[in-house]
Structure 1
Amino acid sequence: MKVGLISSDPGHPVLAATAALLEQRGHEVEAVSPEGTESARPVAELADVYLLKARTPRALALAGELERRGAPVVNSAAATELCQDRMRMADLARAAGLPFAATAAAGRLSELADAAYPFVVKSRRSRRHDLVARVDGPARLRELAERWPEEPVVTQPFVPGTGWDQKLWVIDGQVFAARRRSELASASGESGRAQDWEPPAGRAALALRVGEVFGLDVYGVDLLDGPAESVIVDVNAFPGVRGRPGAPEALAALAERVAAERGRAPAGRGL
């Protein structure tokens, strides 16, 4: 079996550990960098399955082209792209009955008018180093607008909760979890290191339901304790899942399963 890793950082701890496991089992692993390419043309011979870790526009275009050529991609390009748009994400989740935080499109940050403080402002497009900040008043809003004047954003009500972020990661139905002090609940904006945490059965079930709704096999769910129930504040396609024992094994098993279940006729070389 041949596994392709679509990532600009194949040395990422989880990917590297997964690749090592697959190679120990006799599989071939190939890193496929989407950067610097305009399409999937550099991929002459298809792998049996691709793991889509990168989420840049070029990575999504590459994954989409590989799918059109018949290769299974985890997660799919469409599911990954949906999770890039926080407004689409919120709309889908709430339509499916998931307890997702009330999310409103607010245009560009420089155009955002005063709202009911405190609230949380986020980049509409989820990506590395995007904007996620708590806004306690007009001064903070002006500060952020000066730094991110053209940034399209969404807003969510601030949920005080317990001051802990609850991070749940799912790989092919296996739930991994941790919690950490929320940087949004801290006056200093600093968050603590992740701590081991065993989620209650209801929250694990909620995380699994997210995968069904969004069509994801590898994903993360960020939860907060709301006044009456847990509140989902974000969903991430193929997060890092760092430091979770068993995660590389689950990812390797997923790659093997998908390749076996989605067998295809041998593809020709080139497009």
Structure 2
Amino acid sequence: MRICLLTADPGHPLLAGAAALLSPRHRVESLDPHRDDVPAAELLGPGPLADVYLLKARTPRALALARHLEERGAPVVNSAAATAFCQDRTDMAELAHRSGLPFAATRTAATVAGLPALDHPSVIKSRHSRRGDLVTRVDDAAGLRALAEAWPDEPVVAQPYLAGTGWDQKLWVVAGQVFCARRRSELSEPAGAPDDGGTFGPRELPADRAELARRVGEVFGLDVYGVDLLDGPAEPVIVDINAFPGIRGQAGAPEALAALALRVAREGVEARQAGGLRLPAPRDARRDTAGR
């Protein structure tokens, strides 16, 4: 099989680990979609397409390249539509709520100044997720005014700040296999918080949390993704969902990704051999659930 990584960083531990497992028997290559001087379609060059593409990048150029590949019948993990959907925090929250997922209450404003006066501490985020976006805690009207001056034109979402342990529960899923860890929250460091997140691996993960993580993939049409949960008395509350995040230090994650890549590639080859038909686009964020 021929597997292509769509990324500017093929040395990322998850990707490099999966590539090392695949390369003895399969051809693994990478393609950086961020060359501004070359149209997305021309990055592919002549010759046949790869059997599967792993979409690790989430920039507009990366998404454009992924869409082009899907139009030509190539399988892409995750799909361009599902990846793009998870970059809009308003759409994400609306779909999660309609689907019965315990997502944090979220309201949207065209700018920070357009948010109503705060009556409780809130977490303010850029509506559109990207590198270097806005994610901060605001406690009062003065803080909100200062944020409006610093980010005058930024579309934003606001979520109520929920007190926790000072840690976040990070759940990562690769083809239904759940990995997890606690990570120090950047927004909450209460006095007396423990110095580490304690043991929190797959063995310690409650079954309902694992099921919740898998349900997110079903709703949003994702095969490789992350779910951030509040760690504290209000849990479970989902505060973010990420398509193809960096999954570091998780035993078994490269193996799960390598197996997923081979499965999707083989399914594509079998579909083409069965009738020479174009492959259907990989599963997207569920349009029926979203009412789109």
Answer yes or no: same fold by TM over 0.5.
Answer: yes
| Partner of residue 40, structure 2 | 39
Q: How does 1:120-139 map to 2 (within 5 A)?
A: 120-139=123-142
| Partner of residue 28, structure 1 | 27
- Displacement of 1:6 after TM fit? 0.5
* Secondary structure of 2:169's aligned partner: strand
1:68-101 superposed Cα distances (whole Å, 9 cap, x missing partner):
1010000000000000000000111111111111
Normalising by structure 2, what TM-score? Answer: 0.85
- Structure 2 counterpart of 1:59, from 50, 53, 62: 62
Code of the residue aligned with 1:240 in structure 2: it is G
Higher mean C-alpha deviation, range 226-235 or range 213-222 = 226-235
* Secondary structure of 2:182's aligned partner: strand
Alpha-carbon contact 2:33-2:65 (below 8 Å) kept: yes
* Secondary structure of 1:128's aligned partner: coil
Q: How does 1:139-178 map to 2 (within 5 A)?
A: 139-178=142-181
Matched, 1:231 2:243: no
Alpha-carbon contact 2:172-2:178 (below 8 Å) kept: yes
Alpha-carbon contact 1:118-1:157 (below 8 Å) kept: yes
| Partner of residue 103, structure 2 | 100
Q: How does 1:73-84 map to 2 (within 5 A)?
A: 73-84=76-87
| Partner of residue 261, structure 1 | 267
Q: 1:196 to 1:262 in 2, by over 3 A?
A: farther
- Displacement of 1:137 after TM fit? 1.4
| Partner of residue 199, structure 1 | 205
Alpha-carbon contact 1:177-1:196 (below 8 Å) kept: no
1:152-177 superposed Cα distances (whole Å, 9 cap, x missing partner):
10001111133321000000011000
Q: 1:258 to 1:57 in 2, by over 3 A?
A: same
- Displacement of 1:229 after TM fit? 4.4
> 1-side partners of 2:233 and 2:43: how far apart?
51
| Partner of residue 227, structure 2 | 221
- Displacement of 1:230 after TM fit? 0.6
* Secondary structure of 1:230's aligned partner: coil
| Partner of residue 14, structure 1 | 14
Alpha-carbon contact 2:166-2:190 (below 8 Å) kept: no
1:211-263 superposed Cα distances (whole Å, 9 cap, x missing partner):
00000000000011465541111100000001111111111110001011122
Alpha-carbon contact 1:120-1:132 (below 8 Å) kept: yes
- Displacement of 1:140 after TM fit? 2.1
* Secondary structure of 1:241's aligned partner: coil
Alpha-carbon contact 2:112-2:152 (below 8 Å) kept: yes
Code of the residue aligned with 1:18 in structure 2: it is A
> 2-side partners of 1:20 and 1:212: how far apart?
29
- Displacement of 1:13 after TM fit? 1.5
**Unaligned residue ranges in structure 2 (runs of 5+):** 278-292
Alpha-carbon contact 2:125-2:135 (below 8 Å) kept: yes
* Secondary structure of 2:43's aligned partner: coil
Normalising by structure 1, what TM-score? Answer: 0.91
Structural RMSD (CA) = 2.2
Q: 1:224 to 1:72 in 2, by over 3 A?
A: same
* Secondary structure of 1:8's aligned partner: coil
Q: 1:193 to 1:107 in 2, by over 3 A?
A: farther
Q: How does 1:246-257 map to 2 (within 5 A)?
A: 246-257=252-263
Q: How many residues align?
A: 265
Alpha-carbon contact 1:178-1:195 (below 8 Å) kept: no
